[in-house]
Chains A and B, each alone.
Chain A
Amino acid sequence: MTWIWSNLDLVWDRTFDHLVLSVPSIILSFLIALPFGWLAHRYRTSRAVILTTVGLLYAIPSLPLFIVLPFIVGTSIRSPLNLIIALTLYGVALMVRVVADGLGSVDRDVQQSATAVGFSGWTSFWQVELPLAGPVLLAGLRVVAVSTVSLATVGAVIGAQSLGSLFTDGFQRGIQAEIIAGIVATVLLALVLDALLVVIGRLLMPWTRPSAIGVTSRHDVVAREVTA
């Protein structure tokens, strides 16, 4: 415990490093997955190819990827960029299928009526399909966020700074408190990002709030009356 209090600055720095690795990766995975997910959703032939490819992508073991990637893209092995690219790849691998499924989950009647009243394909995608796929996308993004935060720790093995460095360092130097601090901080960070996504989802998708669903709001009223 005393180790943590005397090394709060270090824990804080590593948390920051960890954020620098994971937040851009999460955002990039989402943005890159959108067009691929759309392609997989839209065309049956591309669907098989794209989903199989991203499935295989996820099967690549992380450590070798961290080591091989610099030779392919020309970054240094310890550069955060190297890790961000690798984490983004894994994020994309998860997210493409989610985007395809999310777009597929949009009610056909709603889509058809949007077309019928004069939405063009492009406007319909941005104003109808994407928002309505929102709840599925959000669920997928939460998985990506948590898995990215956890995966980012592996970078410590090749010397890229993150919360993972706390447990590699603690392990080498035999400081148990440091190891535990690393684990706890990683979990906390994952929880915070997850909660943040939920809040963003609530703000962007007000129609999915429980109070926006008729039956529930009526229950609320009854509940309030009963407790009053």
Chain B
Amino acid sequence: MIEFHSVTKRFPDGTLAVDDFSLVLPSHKTTVFVGTSGSGKTTLLRMINRMVDPTSGSIDIDGDDIGTLEPVKLRRGIGYVMQNSGLLPHRRVIDNVATVPMLRGMPKKKAREEALALLDTVGLDRTLADRYPSQLSGGQQQRVGVARGLAVNPNILLMDEPFGAVDPIVRAELQQELLRLQQELGKTVVFVTHDIDEAFLLGDQVVILRTGGKVAQVGSPAEILANPVDEFVATFVGADRGKRSLHVENHGDGDIVVDETGRLAGVLVDAGSSGHSSAASSESKAGPRGPGASAQGGDSR
């Protein structure tokens, strides 16, 4: 469990990046920080591994004030994945994954064996192990980034727009992969994005931020969609544009789901039916949770 207690961060140049932020991030759940550029998401994330120290307030991990912990040691126990993977360009894939365990003193041979197994975990072919990062596609690099984040088997995984730089199809793939991993591993994930659909898809708890690290709303995706607290949140989640208000139209061959602007949002399927039509609905903007989207979109009406 991660707790922010009245955390404020003012940078030396006077920028107030985070203002009096308090929040509990429950263990084994995914919390997503979502907000526009400059709303303090990265700053919040980096305060968890002490890349940035708060100006005032404190952060506890499982009851321990991290301000009293040694930063380098703290970081070696927390997974970190960032946009553009942040892989070391001069080390092979396998060594990138084995890096942190080796920093923690694991023998090279064992670290490499475990790194190979982690490539399987994140769905990468072992034949890529000896490549340099520049020899991989963007999506593959992000998978290596995730494998590296998992390498020390951390309780906490910090992810800063990890899928921000890949194309929509690969992004959707990586998102599904993360959901699958999370179901298996049950880490405490803190995920930063500026994409509200991604936030609703991945988050158990979603935190919508406005400029200056101020919380606009905290809640589950369903709670936020059902009850946007104000205009700002409504605009941000797209409820005001009718994007979230869906209705069903019958087209002879089947039922299709359309939003208020008449834009095709997906296909209505039985909850239990096989997934062949789910591809159609996952391409739609409506879909926080794929086939379940129509039900959830309905909440916001």
Contact = CB atoms under 8 A, between A and B. Distances in A.
B132 A117 contact: no
A22 to B, nearest CB: 29
B134 A116 contact: no
A128 B83 CA distance: 19
A118 B134 contact: no
Contacts of A176: none
A109 interface: yes
Given A207-B132, A212-B135, A213-B135, A115 B75 contact: yes
Contact of A118 (B89, B100, B158): B100
Interface residues of B, number: 28
A112 interface: yes
A114 B149 CA distance: 12
Contact of B72 (A120, A134, A207): A120
B129 interface: no
B251 interface: no
Contact of B51 (A109, A112, A128, A134): A112
Residue of A113, A118, A123, A213 with highest tally of chain B CB at under 10 A? A118
Contact of B88 (A114, A123, A134, A205): A114
Contact of B103 (A123, A132, A217): A123
A118 B75 contact: yes
Contacts of A70: none
A119 interface: yes
B115 to A, nearest CB: 14
B76 A128 contact: no
Given A118-B72, A118-B76, A112 B86 contact: yes
A111 to B, nearest CB: 9
Contacts of B158: 116
Task: Specify the main secondary structure of chain A where it touches its partner.
Answer: helix
A131 interface: yes
B112 interface: no
Interface in B140-176: 148-149, 158
A115 B90 contact: no
B72 A110 contact: no
Interface string B108-148: 00000000000000000000000010111000000000001
Contact of A207 (B99, B134, B136): B134
Contacts of A128: 88
Interface residues of A, number: 23
Interface in A113-154: 113-120, 123, 128, 131-132, 134
Given A117-B80, A118-B72, A110 B86 contact: yes
B86 A113 contact: yes
A109 B90 CA distance: 14
B136 A116 contact: no
A153 to B, nearest CB: 37
A204 to B, nearest CB: 10
A116 B103 contact: no
B43 interface: no
Contacts of A110: 86-89
A169 B49 CA distance: 68
A120 to B, nearest CB: 5
B82 A116 contact: yes
Nearest to B86: A113
A117 B90 contact: no
Contacts of B82: 109, 112-113, 116
Contacts of A214: 134-136
Given A112-B51, A117-B100, A128-B88, A217 B75 contact: no
Nearest to B45: A116
Nearest to B158: A116
A110 B88 CA distance: 6
B300 interface: no
B99 A117 contact: yes
Contact of B86 (A109, A123, A131): A109
Interface of A: 107, 109-110, 112-120, 123, 128, 131-132, 134, 205, 207, 212-214, 217
Q: Which 8 A-B pairs have the closest CB atoms?
A: A113-B86, A118-B76, A118-B75, A116-B80, A214-B135, A207-B90, A207-B132, A120-B72
30 contacts: A109-B82, A109-B84, A109-B86, A110-B86, A110-B89, A112-B82, A115-B51, A116-B82, A116-B86, A116-B158, A117-B75, A117-B80, A117-B149, A118-B75, A118-B76, A118-B100, A118-B103, A118-B104, A123-B103, A131-B90, A132-B89, A132-B90, A134-B90, A207-B91, A212-B134, A212-B135, A213-B135, A214-B134, A214-B135, A214-B136
Given A117-B100, A119-B72, 13 more contacts: A109-B84, A110-B89, A113-B82, A115-B51, A116-B82, A118-B73, A118-B100, A120-B72, A128-B88, A134-B90, A207-B89, A212-B134, A213-B135
